[in-house]
A and B are shown apart, each in its own frame.
Chain A
Amino acid sequence: MDGVSQGIQEPFDLVRLSLNERVFVKLRGDRQLTGVLHAYDGHMNLILSDVEETIMIVEPLDGASDVPSTVKVAKRNMEMLFVRGDGVILVSPPSRT
């Protein structure tokens, strides 16, 4: 696989490989996105299309702390999305079956 590493100079090249592909993005605030990556830049700003956002909402139950808090999942769909690079934790290809 030396040939491959030859072509990749920096981590952004890996992101570059995923242009126009569906990617999985993990964001701050317990959010995840999957969408088709159209553009990115040095700040990790992303432009995605056909996006599905998954938000994990953890609601601590009042009272005793040993009762586990519920985790709710909220999903949203958007056609086009610009993500500020500030909140991006990771970008990866979607998990393949």
Chain B
Amino acid sequence: MAFFGLPESQKYLEGGLHEDEDVAVYTWGEDGYDGLGDALVEGNDDFNDDTFGGSDPIGQDFDFQSGRKLEALERPAERTQTYQSDRDHHVPEQRLEPQKPQEQPKASTIESLWDNKSPFSVLPKFDSNRGAERPHLGSQGSAQSTDHGRTQSHPRIRTVEEIEAEMRAAAKQARSGDSPSLPRAYAQPSDGHRPQPTSLEELERQMKQHNLNQLPRGSSPLTGFPTHVAQHSFAHQRGSDGRSSSGSISEAQLLQLQRLQLQQQQQQQQEALQQQMYRQRQVELAEMQGQIPLDYQQQQQQALAQYQQSLLAQLKPDEFIQASSRSPQLSFDPEVQEAVRQKASRQIMEQEQLEGRRRRKAMKISRMSRYNDLMTQSDKDFITRIQVSQLVTADPYAEDFYAQVWSTLVRNRMGGGDTEGSVIKFGQNGGVGGGVPGQRGSGRRQNAIQRMEAQVERIISNARIREKEKGLHSIHSLQGALGKTSGRSYKAAPRQLLQVDAVAPSSPSLSHTQAQQHTREGSADFIAHTAKSSVHATTHQREPSPVEAEGHSDNKPLTRKQALMLIEGLYDLLLKIEHMRREQPAPEDLAGVDDWKNRRASLIDEVLHTLQTQVPLDACVPHPLISILAPAKGKRVIPRVLRHLDPRRQLGLLYAIVANFSQLDVVIDAHYLDTPQDSPERKEVERQTQLFITHVFQSYLPLLQDLTLQPIHEMTILLLERGNLVLLAKSRPGLHLLTFILSQVENFKQEIAEGSQRAGLPTSSELQSWQTLYDRLFHVLSSHLVDFFPSTRLAAAMPFGIDYYLDPNITDVLDLPVWRFLAAFAVHASMEQQQILVVRLREKVLDNVVSASKGTEIEYRRRLDNVDLFLHALGLDSSQINI
């Protein structure tokens, strides 16, 4: 890339290369070669041969692929010999002795490096074969390895004893007819099978011992194989037994002999398989130490293919036996034979399927467990315990709230019926080592999990004890005076070690989590201060914080920041209260219950303080409570607060809101909704209005429905005297409120008219006084009735007053609350008032009726319904209107 800018190469790139141009052409070795390269004189070439080792035989110096134990290098010569001798796998060991003296002089140069005299020999030897020696098996393994066509050979370094043992084994092998190669198994007749069983059994026994010693786990999928094989072959044998039960004695004997032979063959195959697996195990070990990138699965496949072959071989001799057993009988049933053949083929198919399934399963398991034993189970437990200790919390509901709640929700949605509110415990996922569903492994994992849980319990209890101690000593001990060091494990991600109490003004920067703790306390203190200073008389005893804060002055409205701070404090208090609910002591513990109740009551008082309900209503505009209600968070907090308040206090809060209703942001900003075009403010106001209605109104519904006339009366008075009713009515929340008031009174009137004697019904005097109120309302509102319609306001906002472009769907929906309000309004109206209403709304009504007929069916119905709402209240109907 760097050359692209060069003018020469650019020309080259642009394709204009001609022979006559001045481009550097390099011509080493060609005719035009100017010989400068040869003229170059370089030194330091003397040891090239040693470094690159061209002349000497390679030897096994850097060959780590054998997977065998590299013994002390007392026999350097053997390495070269075995390398050569492995090429022919028949009797490698016997050639050892004669070859030894020949090879020795050649090997001197390289081997001398690894001699005991050289400095390299003191280096730790690579030991890939952790375990006992298995000389004869090793030789068998190596024989088989070359048998299976491995590209690299695996010479081993052996001691004299090993060599002797190998020679002994080789002799045995020679006696047993060199049987490890599987495909030849069935072809051999049974000669010499008398000595076979003993040697084979011996070998098997030894192998099993070795297996038990050295393969602690992980080979269960593999060792499952021989058992499968055994079961299958035995089942097969039993089948063959059953089939050939009928026959002459000679036949039986023949059968028996052949069966024995089969057995032995199967045993051989099992053993061979075991050997294979063992070898694969060793290969695994070697792999682990990062030596061979062998294709493990390929090997297994090969092994499995051979196993299948052997299975078929079993079947064929079975058939063969049966055929041979039947041939002396002249009267053999062709059908029976046919059936037998079919059965055999079916069995072959089945076995192949089983084979395939087993193979796939084994591949999957091997894939998953390929790295399983890179860490021992104890390593995985160790890590899991560290993770657990980080995750564990003494109080899951406090610290891990959302996860707990979410899990509860999910559980309720799905099953239910589990332990209610059960805390998510670590360990259900099995920790780190999850993966292979081996039986031995999972048992161990369960132990680990149990141990972890025990540790978790211990950690929790320790933390509790420590907390208690801290609580006891915090006041009079100097502990923590200079800050305390973190108690968490230092193995975790780096955290701030120093925590300094947040109340001190000159606090250094804190870590985030600790800051949260402190700011919670800090904001609670702040709340206390503002509440205290803004209220002249306070009944609450709270310990004074070290730093006296001014608090906010009474006359200035809350800034947004202050409001947000108060809201944060509110949420903290709410969390505390809700958390207390979980700590509710048992009803038997009277003292505890009392104490709990007191604490809860004081928290609730604090909540009300924070909501600035004690602040006199006219302290400032907007009232602090209203300022708190301005952000969305403030609106959302109301339902949560209401849950903890008793009805009397709820009502008090409602009064406070209603008293300053016109100061609400949703009322003041409602005019934004009157502009037809979209704007971010409009969206925001819309959002806030929606929030207000859903959170504040809805949460008050249950209370509102049970109200008697008295509180309604009070509210109406508040609205009349303090509220800007017209402004209020132009906002949706205001309309909702008014509608509610009017409809409630109407309900009362209806009930009285129906003659019910319910307890909360108003008396006639109350109704009278209400009626006067209503008159006042009417007086205020009647002149502006038309403006209450959003559609009217929208139309007014449109340029040139064209309301043609207003989407009737939207406007009708918007108008609906207004019509409802008007209906409720009209219900209480006297005759004259009704007249006035009709006069004022005449045009609007007519407009709607007329346009309704032009619209679609749905629009038509909707508009008429809207109008009818109002007209019915007057005792009229839309059908009475003639166009």
Contact = CB atoms under 8 A, between A and B. Distances in A.
Do A and B bind?
yes
Interface of A: 1-4, 6-10, 12-13, 16-22, 34, 41-42, 93-94, 97
A22 B684 CA distance: 9
B727 interface: no
B632 interface: yes
Contacts of B547: 6
Given A18-B564, A21-B633, A12 B684 contact: no
Nearest to A94: B680
Q: Which 8 A-B pairs have the closest CB atoms?
A: A17-B564, A7-B526, A7-B523, A3-B549, A6-B526, A42-B512, A9-B519, A2-B549
A7 B502 CA distance: 9
Given A3-B549, A3-B550, A19-B633, A9 B565 contact: no
A2 B561 CA distance: 12
B525 interface: yes
B662 interface: no
With most chain B CB atoms within 10 A of its CB, the pick from A1, A6, A19, A93 is A6
Contacts of B518: 9
Nearest to B509: A10
Nearest to B548: A2
A3 B632 contact: no
A93 B549 contact: no
Contact of B519 (A1, A7, A20): A7
A12 B522 contact: no
Contacts of A4: 526, 552, 559, 561-562, 565
A20 B632 contact: yes
Nearest to B524: A7
Interface of B: 502, 507, 509-510, 512, 515, 518-519, 522-523, 525-526, 529-530, 547, 549-552, 559-562, 564-565, 568-569, 631-633, 636, 680-681, 684
B550 A9 contact: no
Given A12-B515, A17-B561, A97-B681, A6 B633 contact: no
B502 A3 contact: no
27 contacts: A2-B550, A3-B549, A3-B550, A3-B562, A4-B526, A4-B552, A4-B561, A4-B565, A6-B522, A6-B525, A6-B526, A7-B522, A7-B523, A7-B525, A7-B568, A7-B569, A9-B502, A17-B561, A17-B564, A18-B564, A19-B633, A20-B631, A20-B633, A21-B631, A21-B632, A94-B680, A97-B681
Nearest to A93: B560
Nearest to A41: B512
Given A3-B552, A7-B522, 7 more contacts: A2-B549, A7-B526, A8-B565, A9-B502, A9-B515, A13-B519, A93-B560
A17 B565 contact: yes
Contacts of A7: 519, 522-523, 525-526, 565, 568-569
Q: Which of A17, A18, A22, A93 lies at the interface centre, i.e. has the most chain B CB atoms within 10 A of its CB?
A: A17
Q: Which of B518, B551, B565 has the most CB of A within 10 A?
A: B565
Nearest to A52: B680
A13 B519 CA distance: 8
Nearest to A20: B633
A9 B512 contact: no
A16 B632 CA distance: 14
